[in-house]
A and B are shown apart, each in its own frame.
Chain A
């Protein structure tokens, strides 16, 4: 008789799985970051690669969806971070900084995208080399099309080059990401303004056309004196500064407007030694400019006066004299913001040597093909970018009031897929629906190209669905910024990227919502040893012969990557 009650036989014959009333199974779900990303980046997947130290793998994953990680990592307003579940726990993951890190890593180690060999399926013209046009061209080239991108300026980039100051987006970062697209075989033809050197009739050899000419016309204030000397159009001035950095301006400058252009202008002229004051007719809360930009602008000495509306611009000696009204906030308007209402008898004068009007941008319609439907300042398209005219697609700022780089990239990508469907005679709406991230509107080209991989339930993982017992509060890593004194002396980049160490630490903060990262909590907790692991390899499989359906794996999964369903009998 042995020392203890022990059976040298085993219990494998006892298939306890027969007791099961509910079945656990591994099922990746949509993380809120990706669902919020207008570009459709697979954020959780690329961060997971980073935690494995595989920065190149992370870069490859980003490139599946987005040709511009270096650009987005710097200038995107990162809605992914606002939706990050970690935000409800301590602070969201610094996704933008990780994306930038991966891009800088790829650049430093000279990683290039390889041209896809294979027969080209057709020729497509893209008009406009901004983020929408280039994104469209990039994805079309990956779908085996010959693409020519036409650009009116002498260099490609559109708003990325002309509208974003280099202290936010250095030109070499832009050039390197454009050259990556060119490496794919996309042809850029610059100095070809649409409607002038290039007409729609010239594009007969192309089977489809994507128009992404942007919104480049400064909106006027429609007040007396607006056309006078030393009253400048915001976007035009910004372009000049961005391209040649030399402009003639007075010392004291009034910038009128509250958007990103106004902030970019104020920060740019400060770098030219001027003293800008932003005049905005609503309050801080309503300002459409991104919060981070505003913070940096104020750090650098930009003055902002809220609830002030100019009604007349006059000349007084060498100065411009702005007659302004003080405003207060009234009822909400159609944009959901409180409408500014003038306070009676509140007029006052604000003097400046130059006045810059940055009250928004509008699209130019003169050169657009006849027959394009327009409404409220944009060209109307279906969600796949198709217009009423066969073979003509449109995207970017031209077709949207959400004028961000990320939205433009996303619209170019969607149009690329739609044009592929159009040329193959397939239903693009159907194709889009297959690859929506969550409920959309963003899509995943990766899933279009690899339908069997990275499948996930469209359900977006909520904070409540996570088991946060397995996480510890950890401070968000921050990118370092140059000191203000040095910053305002030139147009050098303000923000420095992560070091390898802080990038890894930040990546490891990611909850990996909805995506199994092999933490093996399920394996550890399963009381029936029914999570299969052979040769130290975690299989993400349940042994249904023995799983009793207790659901512990489901409830102990920190990230909601296991689902539970009632067992069919």
Chain B
């Protein structure tokens, strides 16, 4: 059945269809309507879920860590300062290998105070051991929530599903909503690695001395390394059941172009029209959408380089002192490779400013015109 729904409603549908057992969340703009929808569904009895009201995001994640250890499927959603407040518990969830799914609605972090979209919040958490999946449209949002549980529960890692504030969260699109039966067939009930039995107590997350700590982190990294293969299997199965596939990355446009334009989130949608226009003008450019940021899909990206000389990356985020985070990750992971195209790192759209087709075209044109970037950070639309 198709419904016209917002991105936040798409999240809620994904959660309902995933038969989540425990939800714990604290409201924050622009995530609030997700939690509202879910709390109402729970309160009305339409959804058999325990909804835990908590006093902070830190507690929301702490509560889910307990519930997930107890062996049930868990969900939370947050944004911006809320995600930052969860930081300590994010590490705990991955260290304890708990397959919690979190939806983060991208919002800038203040000050200056700002409630609009940019990726600084989720990308600040890139080192917490969470898988991160970015969405371009509302259908992808719903589908990614379903896939997230499959991936999380297979590799025993928490997964963060990320969508842009307002452009997705509060904007309606037609979304195909699978039936409960279809999702049940795709997503089996969660089986914990160590089921809790009150008669046979165990101690979780006990101390690991220097003799062992390194090995636990090695296992965490190995789990991350399994993600590309497992995520691909999940995506393939999803395609066969629902007819839709997303990949870790998606190429848009021709093969073997001079220039690649790398984007993530909703900017991708805009860039598709710009690429069509530029191809019409004879520019040799193709788009690469990065969906999975963690683990970083360097293998998948590398396969798409195919002789491209330049890569333009549009980052809707800033790691002050370095630049755009996607660009930085790309530079770092290409360093040891044979093909190392010039990386043009553009920063744009921070704090929710629109990244217009004109700005994207400007970025590509700059890349065409210059053999290498004149500056480490190329600001798009900056008012000097």
Contact = CB atoms under 8 A, between A and B. Distances in A.
B137 interface: no
Interface stretch (A9-17, A27-35, A287-295, A372-380): A9-17
Interface string B198-217: 00111111111000100110
B202 A8 contact: yes
Nearest to A534: B198
B182 interface: no
A6 interface: yes
A3 interface: yes
Given A3-B193, A4-B216, A5-B212, A10 B203 contact: yes
Contact of A5 (B156, B193, B200, B208): B208
A7 interface: yes
A1 interface: yes
Contacts of B95: 4
A10 B207 CA distance: 14
B219 interface: yes
A8 B203 CA distance: 7
A11 B95 CA distance: 21
Contacts of B215: 1
- A6, A11, A12 — most chain B CB neighbours (10 Å): A6
B156 A3 contact: yes
Given A1-B212, A1-B215, A7 B156 contact: no
Given A1-B215, A5-B216, A10 B205 contact: no
Contact of A3 (B97, B200, B202, B208): B97
**Size band of the interface chain A makes with B:** 10 to 19
A3 B219 CA distance: 7
B201 A5 contact: no
Nearest to A1: B215
Interface string B87-106: 00000000111000000000
Main secondary structure of the interface of A (DSSP, over half): loop
B201 A4 contact: no
B202 A10 contact: yes
A4 B156 CA distance: 10
Contacts of B113: none
Contact of A6 (B156, B200, B203, B219): B203
Contacts of A5: 204-208, 212, 216
Interface in B193-242: 193-194, 200-208, 212, 215-216, 219
Contacts of A6: 194, 202-206
A11 B204 CA distance: 11
A102 to B, nearest CB: 30
A8 B201 CA distance: 7
B205 A4 contact: yes
A12 B203 CA distance: 10
A183 B354 CA distance: 85
A3 B194 CA distance: 10
Contacts of A3: 97, 156, 193, 219
Nearest to B98: A4
Interface in A4-54: 4-12
Contacts of B207: 5
A556 to B, nearest CB: 13
Contacts of A11: 201, 203
Contacts, number: 41
A8 B208 CA distance: 14
Interface string B267-302: 000000000000000000000000000000000000
A10 B201 contact: yes
B97 A9 contact: no
A11 B194 CA distance: 17
Nearest to B156: A3
A4 B212 contact: no
Nearest to B198: A529
A12 B201 contact: yes
Interface string B146-171: 00000000001000000000000000
Contacts of B203: 6-7, 9-11
A7 B219 CA distance: 17
Nearest to B208: A5
Nearest to A10: B201
Contacts of A1: 212, 215, 219
A7 B212 CA distance: 14
A62 to B, nearest CB: 35
- A3, A5, A7 — most chain B CB neighbours (10 Å): A5
A7 B203 CA distance: 5
B99 to A, nearest CB: 12
A544 to B, nearest CB: 18
Interface string B335-356: 0000000000000000000000
A76 to B, nearest CB: 38
Nearest to B202: A8
A504 to B, nearest CB: 19
Contact of A7 (B97, B193, B202, B216): B202
A404 to B, nearest CB: 45
A238 to B, nearest CB: 53
A190 B203 CA distance: 77
A10 B202 CA distance: 5
Contacts of B204: 4-6
A33 to B, nearest CB: 30
- A1, A3, A10 — most chain B CB neighbours (10 Å): A3
A525 to B, nearest CB: 12
A552 B113 CA distance: 37
Contacts of A9: 202-203
Interface in A65-84: none
A260 B215 CA distance: 85
Nearest to A533: B198
Contacts of B193: 3-4
B314 to A, nearest CB: 38
A526 to B, nearest CB: 13
B292 to A, nearest CB: 22
A381 to B, nearest CB: 56
Contacts of B219: 1, 3
A548 B204 CA distance: 20
A452 B205 CA distance: 46
A519 to B, nearest CB: 16
Nearest to B213: A5
Contacts of B156: 3
Contacts of B200: 10
A3 B208 CA distance: 12
Interface string A151-162: 000000000000
B225 to A, nearest CB: 14
Interface string A431-445: 000000000000000
B319 to A, nearest CB: 31
A6 B212 CA distance: 12
A4 B96 contact: yes
Interface string A189-224: 000000000000000000000000000000000000
A65 B298 CA distance: 80
Interface string A378-408: 0000000000000000000000000000000
Nearest to B95: A4
A453 to B, nearest CB: 32
Nearest to A8: B202
Nearest to B219: A3
A6 B206 CA distance: 6
B83 to A, nearest CB: 24
Nearest to A7: B203
A417 B343 CA distance: 96
Given A5-B208, A9-B202, 17 more contacts: A1-B212, A1-B215, A1-B219, A3-B156, A3-B193, A4-B95, A4-B96, A4-B204, A4-B205, A5-B205, A5-B207, A5-B212, A6-B194, A6-B203, A6-B205, A6-B206, A10-B203
The 8 closest A-B pairs by CB, nearest first: A10-B201, A7-B203, A5-B208, A5-B206, A7-B206, A4-B97, A3-B97, A8-B202
Interface of B: 95-97, 156, 193-194, 200-208, 212, 215-216, 219
5 contacts: A1-B219, A3-B219, A5-B204, A5-B205, A10-B200
